[in-house]
Structure 1
Amino acid sequence: MAATAVDADVIVIGAGPTGLMLAGELCLGGARVVVLEKLTEPTGQSRGLGFTARAMEVFDARGLLSRFGQGETVEISPMGHFGGTVFDFTVLPDAHFGARGIPQSITEQVLEDWAGELGADIRRGWEFVSLDDGYLDGDGVHLTARDPQGAERRLHAHWLVGCDGGASRVRAAAGFGFPGRDATRGMYLADVTGVELRHRPLGERTPHGMVMSAPLSEGVDRIIVCPDGTPAHERERTVTYDEVARAWHHITGEDITGGKADWVSSFTDATRQAEQYRRGRVFLAGDAAHIHLPAGGQGLSTGVQDAVNLGWKLAAVIRGENSPELLDSYHEERHAAGRRLLMNTRAQGIVYLGGAESDPLRELFGELIQYDDVKRHLAGMVSHVDLRYDFGEDDTHPLTGRRLPPRRFTGAYGTLRIAQLLRSGRGVLLDLADDADVRREASEWQGRVSVATLTAPSADDGDVLAGATAVLVRPDGYVAWAGSPADGDPKRLRAALERWFGPADRAPATARPAV
């Protein structure tokens, strides 16, 4: 077996949306990244057709929305659903269901182009095989991979991240526990041509199951078929269009055998989550860390958010600006977010896919959804904009641990959104009171934290700031600290800077502006 040393800070296994987003984040932070993908080329299949509101904000923060073919005004859907119960997401300020009609293949291409431009070495046709011992305590990770010619290669990096999906080999090789619930039913997904279908974009139940159908492009319909009583499929089993057509006919009575499928796939309602997202120098992200019933594009969107949460932290450790202990916060923050994801997708499955026994629950949801408080709660949950990380005793302000909403601030360069200030991948300190002490404090973190002296939003929108005159925002858009140094908070600001961005520089310089 040939021995090949790869000079990489991080090896990422898997070139799906999670792995590619992570590669881009790491490169943006100055890390050297190799991505190994067993497929020789993208499949072109698009299990996902969009992403949540929070994922859109993440893409916006890296300047990627304009790459989706619709400019920075990517088409959004104000209407969404929870378990098939439809409601208007605009009951929440800034909220919407997310982007619709963007095939996963396009999302992957956008992210692959971006990561490649930043320097990621994306190697297709390379398959992860095994992991050497010592990854918990060693100074690096040694692994074996099979190259496109079938030869086994020894590779080395300081860190390894498994983004290789629900059947993750990295997860198994590194010994991560993956408890949860086994699948109870099998379901189908297909893009169909050559038949006329009545559109059922939010699903339709019959005594035999549930189906969904919606136009994907000219002459192509996306169908989802969920027959009752169908046992769970083996993950590797090949599904045929005839099988899908039979299930469609059983549920609806409609004959679609005259059509054909561009591709077909299957999925289940299995629900599992890794016990840990980090073991030594090995991490999991995306479907490698959590699997669940697909509901509202949350899987892809959660994987993207996993990647951004881990990426800036790992890059900071690689640059030597922070200690490896910072990486523990990845598990703490994203494991809790994953638990909430699994809870809401399981709940939707019971409401959406349950038989007659779930009718009372569906009726109850129909009543509850009339209340604005319920709408706000559910909209925030499935759009991922209500997520709050637990920062312990540092949670001293209503904004702390939450993403900073996309408010518009006014500065010397005109009107700006927080996403525009995060394009570099650095943290940002918003000075909203033209406070020289705030700028002086941040000067000791030059290069890691930019400073923007801005005017807060109008009174109508300013309530989100709850009186804060300075806001420290992490590179992933979450608020690390908010308050008013003039009211006795300068020590807390300094503590937050040290916690998230490492020790201060010994020789302070002028704070670097954000714009």
Structure 2
Amino acid sequence: MSSTQHYGVAVVGGGPVGMLLATELGLHGISTVVLESNAATVDQPKAGTLHARTVQSLARRGHLPARRGGRLDQLTADAFHFAGMPGLTITAPAVEGTPIAGRTQADLERAFERRARELGVSIRRGHRVVALSQTADLVEITAEQANGGRVVVTADYAVGADGARSAVRRLAGIPSDDHPPTVAALLGQVRLLDPTGTPPGWHLTPRGWTVINVNPFGYSRVITFDFSGPHTDRHTPVGLDELRATASRIAGQDIPMADAVFTSRFSDYTRLTRQYRDRRVFLAGDAAHVHFPVGGQGLNLGLQDAMNLGWKLAATLRGHAGPGLLDSYHEERHPAGQRVVDNTRAQLALMRPGAQTDPLRALFRELLSLDQVNAHLGDMISAQETVYGSAPGSPWEGRFLPNLPLTADGRETCVAELLHPGRPVLLLFDGVDPGCVRAAAGWAHAVDAVRVHSPEPLPWGALLVRPDGYVAWAGSRSADEEDGVRSALRKWFGAPRPAGNAVSSGPAAGAVTVAAPGVSAG
């Protein structure tokens, strides 16, 4: 067994969620290790849909391109589905670009891993976690290597991003609320021998559903949903014959296929942990929530967990977190997980075949034609309805700030670009209360204060924007806001410190260099 190494954060699980979290921590110079059991990224036909809030969030770190320009009162739209029914339109502000982006889970994992390594994160592949304990001061993790050796690491905090069968969740003893499976589902990547005769897309029959992405020139993804009951053995390998027979039976016609390069079985088993935090241990992604994979929400939910948790851990380790900041991770993300669990269970109820459900589906098709209903469901699926603890009487606090086109120091920029360094930003607009500028000086170690001009009239004199893009505080143009901004800065980022020139007229300069436990000064 090798000697113990200490880190600020140990991330268990190197999928997209764990690797994104690692990049968030590395961006702030936090000493971070990722422990991943797989020796390399595994290419599988899993999630590939990035919904609007995830697209917008990744653009705020430069993982996806940010759109400059556009009007705040215009929308862009993409067609989607609800419970397999067409007619849902997902919209987003035109200043954000496309509401939906296609990116495979494996591609995201590779991209985030490259970025994490560039930022100095230690990536340890071929390490399977077998033991975990925590004290008042640290977490100790034991990982078994592929060669049979064992490694022990300690960390100020640990995050389980290790999937549905999370070892961290089990070893930490974090309880959950579960719903047993009722549906037997199969997935395969195969060559269709009669692609033109195969029913494409979402196809409902009295026996269940087939969902087939027909590719006449290569491999096609075939999914089947059988509502007659769950799998007898969830872990039995799926053979080509079983997939072909099931797809043909449900479709009511022969669907010939060959050369299966990947197959798996899954169900509608649902789990939501009761706590996303247990002292120094956190859960993110499928380790915290598992649900029926309809609407492509699972990967997005996990990536949003990482965006929410990363900056809070970094601020805590750097010593400039307000009281209760780490607790806010559970307070904000658990309701988001519950929302997805509930809407996927509702969609599954709509998808059940049979005459008893047909009138309900017909009603929902009719409802989808109503703009207000369509917008409500589209914002729910794409997580654009998410609001974090909005203050009473405040229309903006807790909401996601659109990618406003701005000018700073005579240079065109936008909200997304100002958030690339991953630090909170205090936007100081034309005509801002001078007291806000004075207040910003005490938090220059934690917050980038930037004077900006908007080409369109805006209702604020100042906005405190969290690193994940949500508004922490909004100040009006007319009121004396010095006390308000001081209170907000103290609430989110702790006590002020002596500072020099705290206000810039351009983009943020980057991470601070104050060393703290688990922090590499940079």
Output the TM-score relative to the length of structure 1: 0.91
More divergent stretch after superposition (432-441 vs 311-320):
432-441
For the structure 1 residues 290 and 218, does the alpha-carbon distance in structure 2 shift closer, same or farther, using more than 3 Å as the test?
same
Match of 1:171 among 166, 169, 172: 169
1:498 and 2:498 matched: no
Q: How many aligned residue pairs are there?
A: 499
More divergent stretch after superposition (141-150 vs 410-419):
410-419
More divergent stretch after superposition (212-221 vs 472-481):
212-221
1:42 and 2:34 matched: no
Q: What CA distance in whole angstroms lies between the structure 2 residues aligned with 1:185 and 1:423?
A: 42
Q: Deviations over 1:244-291 (max 9, x none)?
A: 111101011333444222211121111110000000100000000000
Q: What CA distance in whole angstroms lies between the structure 2 residues aligned with 1:357 and 1:96?
A: 41
Gaps of 5+ in 2: 70-75, 508-522
Q: Which residue does 1:236 correspond to in 2?
A: 235
Q: What CA distance in whole angstroms lies between the structure 2 residues aligned with 1:221 and 1:413?
A: 51
CA contact (8 A) 1:395 1:401 kept: no
Q: Deviations over 1:275-312 (max 9, x none)?
A: 00000100000000000011222111110110111100
Q: Which residue does 2:154 correspond to in 1?
A: 156
Q: Which residue does 2:310 correspond to in 1?
A: 311
Alpha-carbon shift at residue 192 of structure 1 (Å): 1.6
Alpha-carbon shift at residue 174 of structure 1 (Å): 0.4
Alpha-carbon shift at residue 57 of structure 1 (Å): 0.9
Q: Which residue does 1:426 correspond to in 2?
A: 423
Q: Deviations over 1:405-456 (max 9, x none)?
A: 1232233344322111100010011112243332222121113211222233
CA contact (8 A) 1:12 1:163 kept: yes
For the structure 1 residues 500 and 324, does the alpha-carbon distance in structure 2 shift closer, same or farther, using more than 3 Å as the test?
closer
1:320 and 2:319 matched: yes
Q: Which residue does 1:9 correspond to in 2?
A: 8
Q: Which residue does 2:274 correspond to in 1?
A: 275
For the structure 1 residues 368 and 412, does the alpha-carbon distance in structure 2 shift closer, same or farther, using more than 3 Å as the test?
same
Q: What CA distance in whole angstroms lies between the structure 2 residues aligned with 1:330 and 1:404?
A: 19
Alpha-carbon shift at residue 182 of structure 1 (Å): 0.9
Q: Deviations over 1:443-492 (max 9, x none)?
A: 21113211222233535xx5xxxx22211100000000112164143322
Q: Which residue does 1:80 correspond to in 2?
A: 80
Query: What pairs with 1:112-131 in structure 2 (closer than 5 Å)?
Result: 112-131=113-132
Q: What CA distance in whole angstroms lies between the structure 2 residues aligned with 1:98 and 1:129?
A: 40
Match of 1:138 among 136, 139, 149: 136
Q: Which residue does 1:197 correspond to in 2?
A: 195
Alpha-carbon shift at residue 349 of structure 1 (Å): 1.2
Q: Deviations over 1:155-187 (max 9, x none)?
A: 211111100111111101101001121111110
Alpha-carbon shift at residue 47 of structure 1 (Å): 0.6
Q: What CA distance in whole angstroms lies between the structure 1 residues aligned with 2:59 and 2:215?
A: 24
Q: Secondary structure at the match of 1:266?
A: strand
Alpha-carbon shift at residue 507 of structure 1 (Å): 3.8
User: What amino acid is the match of 2:120?
Assistant: G
Q: Secondary structure at the match of 2:430?
A: coil
CA contact (8 A) 1:209 1:355 kept: no
Gaps of 5+ in 1: none
CA contact (8 A) 1:78 1:89 kept: yes
For the structure 1 residues 59 and 408, does the alpha-carbon distance in structure 2 shift closer, same or farther, using more than 3 Å as the test?
same
Q: Secondary structure at the match of 2:117?
A: helix
User: What amino acid is the match of 1:510?
Assistant: A
For the structure 1 residues 35 and 178, does the alpha-carbon distance in structure 2 shift closer, same or farther, using more than 3 Å as the test?
same
Q: Which residue does 1:89 correspond to in 2?
A: 89
Q: Which residue does 1:403 correspond to in 2?
A: 400
Q: Which residue does 2:328 correspond to in 1?
A: 329
User: What amino acid is the match of 2:469?
Assistant: G
Query: What pairs with 1:466-485 in structure 2 (closer than 5 Å)?
Result: 467-484=459-476
Alpha-carbon shift at residue 341 of structure 1 (Å): 1.0
Q: What CA distance in whole angstroms lies between the structure 1 residues aligned with 2:455 and 2:363?
A: 39
Q: Which residue does 1:56 correspond to in 2?
A: 55
CA contact (8 A) 1:89 1:96 kept: no
Q: What CA distance in whole angstroms lies between the structure 1 residues aligned with 2:257 and 2:300?
A: 35
For the structure 1 residues 262 and 511, does the alpha-carbon distance in structure 2 shift closer, same or farther, using more than 3 Å as the test?
same
For the structure 1 residues 233 and 449, does the alpha-carbon distance in structure 2 shift closer, same or farther, using more than 3 Å as the test?
farther
Q: Secondary structure at the match of 2:108?
A: helix
Aligned-residue Cα RMSD (Å) equals 2.5
Q: What CA distance in whole angstroms lies between the structure 2 residues aligned with 1:514 and 1:201?
A: 51
User: What amino acid is the match of 1:34?
Assistant: V
More divergent stretch after superposition (97-106 vs 32-41):
97-106
- Indicate the percent of aligned positions where both proteins have the same amino acid: 38
Q: Secondary structure at the match of 1:109?
A: helix
Q: Secondary structure at the match of 1:65?
A: coil
User: What amino acid is the match of 1:375?
Assistant: N
Alpha-carbon shift at residue 219 of structure 1 (Å): 1.5
For the structure 1 residues 510 and 323, does the alpha-carbon distance in structure 2 shift closer, same or farther, using more than 3 Å as the test?
closer
More divergent stretch after superposition (505-514 vs 151-160):
505-514
Query: What pairs with 1:436-455 in structure 2 (closer than 5 Å)?
Result: 436-455=434-453
User: What amino acid is the match of 1:145?
Assistant: A
Higher helix share: 1
Q: Deviations over 1:106-129 (max 9, x none)?
A: 111111111111111111110000
User: What amino acid is the match of 1:139?
Assistant: D
Q: Secondary structure at the match of 2:55?
A: helix
CA contact (8 A) 2:451 2:504 kept: no
Q: Which residue does 1:511 correspond to in 2?
A: 503
Q: What CA distance in whole angstroms lies between the structure 2 residues aligned with 1:324 and 1:6?
A: 29
Q: What CA distance in whole angstroms lies between the structure 1 residues aligned with 2:138 and 2:319?
A: 15
Alpha-carbon shift at residue 238 of structure 1 (Å): 1.8
User: What amino acid is the match of 2:186?
Assistant: Y
Q: What CA distance in whole angstroms lies between the structure 2 residues aligned with 1:32 and 1:237?
A: 40
For the structure 1 residues 87 and 470, does the alpha-carbon distance in structure 2 shift closer, same or farther, using more than 3 Å as the test?
farther
For the structure 1 residues 445 and 202, does the alpha-carbon distance in structure 2 shift closer, same or farther, using more than 3 Å as the test?
farther
Q: Deviations over 1:40-83 (max 9, x none)?
A: 1121113111211111111111111159xx9x9xxx97111221
